[in-house]
Structure 1
Amino acid sequence: MNILFVCSRNQWRSPTAEKIYKNRSDLTVKSAGTEPSARNRLTAKNINWADLIFVMEKKHKQRMVEKFPFETGQKQIIILHIPDEYTYMDPELVEDIKTKVDEYIQK
């Protein structure tokens, strides 16, 4: 399964999620950001590649749908409701991501 994690700048939250799940043999994961300043910017190609998309906040889904209406039309986009108040691999962030994502990607 191809999973895409999205936040604003692809600096802390989505790269943390990518790192958590990157070594699972049943998953291929990527991360991207919605802002022009993002480390890895969200593209139509990312969205088309993904089987499942997790966004950290509602605004990320809104930006995706506005910018890529055709690509997001049939995609399952899950809002994790994780605010931008963590640093990369923050233990609380890791726990929050695992708790919310694992129910969608059972082993």
Structure 2
Amino acid sequence: MPIKIPSGLPAYDILKEENVFVMTEARAVHQDIRPLKFAVVNLMPTTVDTEIQLLRLLGNTPIQVDITLVRMGSHESKNAPEGHLERFYVTADQVLHERFDGLVITG
């Protein structure tokens, strides 16, 4: 089943080429099932590669998975492409009171 991630995320095109079912928010709103909501805190130095590996696994599940990429507001990555975290991640403070079905922390 699909994983919902931003279409501009580098992992999106790579996973699509690998026939992993990815979808954007626009398509996800038309689904009749409640997705599993996962927060991912990616602390690995290979940010984009780790996103691809993890999303590949989560995209291989039988139900829709809604991914929220989370970063620490005070942390500045030395390895992620410039602007990547600001564009695709939310801060932990922004999602502190949201409910998730799962939390994945890499690193």
Normalised by the length of structure 1, the TM-score is: 0.37
| Rg (Cα) greater in structure | 2
> Per chain length, whose mean CA-contact separation is higher, i.e. which structure has more relative contact order (CA < 8 Å, sep 6+)?
2
- Would you tell me which structure has more helix in proportion to its own residues? 1
- Would you tell me which structure has more strand in proportion to its own residues? 2
Normalised by the length of structure 2, the TM-score is: 0.37
